[in-house]
Amino acid sequence: MSNPAQRANKLFVQTFGTQADELYCAPGRVNLIGEHTDYNDGFVLPAAINFHTAIVAKRRDDLQFRAVSDAYPGEIVSWTFGEEGAPVKKHWSNYLKGFTAAMASSGLAPKGLDIAVVSNIPMNAGLSSSAALEVAFGTAVNDCSQIKLSPLAIAQLAQRGENQFVGHACGIMDQMICALGEQDHAFLIDCLDLDSEAVSIPENLSLLIINSNVKRNEIEAQYNLRKEQCEQAASHFGLESLRDLDLSTLEAAKAELPEAYYKRAKHVLSENRRTQNAAWALESGDIAKLSQLMAESHISMRDDFEISTTEIDYLVEIVSEVIGNRGGVRMTGGGLGGCIVALVDHELTDAVVATIEQKFTDKTGLEADIYLCLASDGAKRIDD
């Protein structure tokens, strides 16, 4: 099958009867460690991956937007800038309209565009296909109208659109890594001040993402519940966010707190520490340390944040038996299904794949998809 860019060009011509002017791409992402910490003003360590959403665009002289996606054939969505109306339940165009609505409320004034969208990022797998759509579109709008927003500003508008228009209370991690990613690097992001630092991934490690294909049920309600519990835990201590709490203060107050608040806060505080240590371990090539931190992160998500599943635990267990301390493995993303991520010594890659193929389906009845990935660049215009 041809790549997303070629397919987007073809779709554009079929839909609008003319060639597009420009091509933009934004990647999916995988989070190496630092889960559910972004909306708690904490630390995350994601990498952009070599699965992409491509958007081809043609400038218009008016304020109209028209969009078509190969995932929803035959449907052309159109709207006027600043007149996005109400979101249509679960509709893909909400991510685009959310971005223009966020621009309008920030006083930015782009020109309209016709666009065609094609993506090869697996959907509903927790690899940020929606952030890639928002950020690819934001990059296109920004560039075509020469507004000169920074990648970080595009990520912030994308997050605002998703929070306020789409209605998902997500943090900033997905949009930021989608906008800022760098080849062969993860990013340590401080979600309090949005400082970020590129962390190189050692050459001898393979980046494997394994999609359990466990259906992610009730993910949004569970995500919102966890966020609310974290906020309640912070407010018990009179704090704005869990970032300002330390583990010893939390432990001393354990008996006063509802158990769920205590456990959620314990995960977030310990995960912040693990994430900063993991960035250091990765940068210095201390794979045994990375392995230990990723294992602890998984246990914390399973026992304290309670967002794992038996199938995901089994996947993590069989991969970790193969790699020992020559790599790390844990669930990645929002949880309750979706993917695990493994950073493993190249020499062990085939053994990991073989183990999953031999054991996972027999035990769970599910077929896992295995993606051998590369850490990749963030969103950009692609010139010929």
Which residue in the set 170, 205, 268, 279 belongs to the binding site for ligand GAF (CB under 6 A)? 170
What minimum distance in Å lies between the beta carbon of 171 and ligand GAF? 3
Which residue in the set 22, 143, 174, 304 belongs to the binding site for ligand GAF (CB under 6 A)? 174
Interaction pattern, residues 204-223, with ligand GAF; x per rule: CB under 6 A: --------------------
Interaction pattern, residues 296-315, with ligand GAF; x per rule: CB under 6 A: --------------------
Q: Which residues contact 353 (CB under 8 A, 6 or more apart)?
A: 208, 370
For ligand GAF, the closer CB: 110 or 181: 181
Structure tokens at 17: 């009867």
DSSP result, 41-95? T-EE-EEEEEEEEEEEEEE-SSSEEEEEETTSTT--EEEETTB--SPPTT-TTHH
For ligand GAF, the closer CB: 110 or 171: 171
What minimum distance in Å lies between the beta carbon of 225 and ligand GAF? 13
How many angstroms separate the CA atoms of 363 and 217, rounded? 21
Distances (CA, A) of 190 to 2, 57, 231, 354, 362: 38, 33, 18, 37, 41
Structure tokens at 274: 């693990």
How many angstroms separate the CA atoms of 381 and 143, rounded? 8
Q: Where are the alpha helices (DSSP H) in the chain?
A: 4-16, 94-105, 129-144, 151-161, 173-180, 219-236, 247-252, 259-283, 287-303, 310-323, 349-364
Which residue in the set 122, 161, 181, 334 belongs to the binding site for ligand GAF (CB under 6 A)? 334
What letters, b where the CB count within 10 A reaches 16 and e where it falls short, cover 67-101? bbbbeeeeeebebebeebeebeeeebbbbbbbbbb
For ligand GAF, the closer CB: 35 or 231: 35
For ligand GAF, the closer CB: 116 or 180: 180
Applying CB under 6 A, the span of 31-39, 100-108, 135-143, 234-242 interacting with ligand GAF comes to 31-39
Residue 173 makes contact with ligand GAF by CB under 6 A: yes
Applying CB under 6 A, the span of 166-174, 206-214, 255-263, 361-369 interacting with ligand GAF comes to 166-174
Residue 39 makes contact with ligand GAF by CB under 6 A: yes
For ligand GAF, the closer CB: 58 or 330: 330
What residues does 318 pair with on adjacent strands?
Answer: none
Q: Which residues are catalytic?
A: 174
Residue 333 makes contact with ligand GAF by CB under 6 A: yes
Residue 271 makes contact with ligand GAF by CB under 6 A: no
122 phi, psi to nearest 5 deg: -55, 135
Applying CB under 6 A, the span of 78-86, 167-175, 292-300, 361-369 interacting with ligand GAF comes to 167-175
For ligand GAF, the closer CB: 128 or 349: 128
Distances (CA, A) of 35 to 142, 235, 372: 30, 21, 21
Which residue in the set 42, 112, 138, 171 belongs to the binding site for ligand GAF (CB under 6 A)? 171
Number of neighbouring beta carbons within 10 Å of residue 279: 24
Per CB under 6 A, residues contacting ligand GAF are: 31, 35-36, 38-39, 170-171, 173-174, 333-334
